[in-house]
Each structure stands twice: as structure tokens, then as C-alpha cells.
């Protein structure tokens, strides 16, 4: 299990444990983390699982694939560290990962 902290738009952190092999989105849904709607269920087809990856984690998380990048165009307030959390697979190197959820999704 890997520790992941979700920070909401107001700056309130919430730390949960995520399973290696699962995704950052699935872990959020499983733990009722607010701010991640995940309307398409993880198919990279909705952009309502948009998060900002904490600066210290950007390299470990890696860049978005082209398909994810295309879908991110539909998200609001996209930044260089924007990712779709259903496309971030949890691996041991992500222990302590911090992501911030945007003020609004879609």
C-alpha cells in the first residue's frame, strides 16, 4: 500500500492508502475523496478526474500519454502539472504522493 494525500481546492489535505496497481482515481473513489467525479469510470473519456500533481512528484508520475493529453483539453484550468488521475497507476515509487483537486471539474 502507498500513502496518497489529496488536497482540496481550499487546501485541506486528506491522506489515504492506495493499492499498488490501482489508480489514483480509483483510490479516491474508494475512500470518498471529494473533488474527483470520474464520470467515465476510468476510461480516459471525461476529464472529471483532473488533478494537479505535487511538484515533488511530477517526475515520478511522468507525463501524460497523448490520449490523456487530448482529454485534458476538456478540463478547466489546466496547468503544466495537470493529469487525469485515472491514468496515474500507483507504484511503490509514488509513496507519499500529493495531488490537488481543482475547484471544479469538467
Segment contacting ligand FES by CB under 6 A, of 14-22, 40-48, 57-65, 90-98: 40-48
Between CA 52 and CA 77 the distance in angstroms is: 10
Ranges within 66-105 binding ligand FES (CB under 6 A): 71, 84, 86
Nearer to ligand FES, 11 or 62 (CB): 62
Q: Is residue 99 a contact partner of residue 50, using CB atoms and an 8 Å limit?
A: no
Closest CB to ligand FES belongs to which residue? 86
Total binding residues toward ligand FES, as defined by CB under 6 A: 15
Between CA 76 and CA 95 the distance in angstroms is: 28
Chain mean position to CA 91: 14
Nearer to ligand FES, 11 or 26 (CB): 26
Amino acid at each position: 500500500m502507498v500513502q496518497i494525500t489529496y488536497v482540496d481546492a481550499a487546501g485541506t489535505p486528506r491522506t489515504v492508502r492506495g493499492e499498488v496497481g490501482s489508480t489514483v482515481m480509483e483510490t479516491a473513489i474508494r475512500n470518498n475523496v471529494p473533488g474527483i467525479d470520474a464520470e467515465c469510470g476510468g476510461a480516459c473519456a471525461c476529464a472529471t478526474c483532473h488533478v494537479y500533481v505535487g511538484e515533488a512528484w511530477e517526475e515520478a508520475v511522468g507525463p501524460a500519454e497523448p490520449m490523456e493529453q487530448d482529454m485534458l483539453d476538456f478540463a478547466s484550468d489546466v496547468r503544466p502539472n495537470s493529469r487525469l488521475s485515472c491514468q496515474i497507476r500507483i507504484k511503490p515509487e509514488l509513496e507519499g504522493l500529493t495531488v490537488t483537486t481543482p475547484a471544479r471539474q469538467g
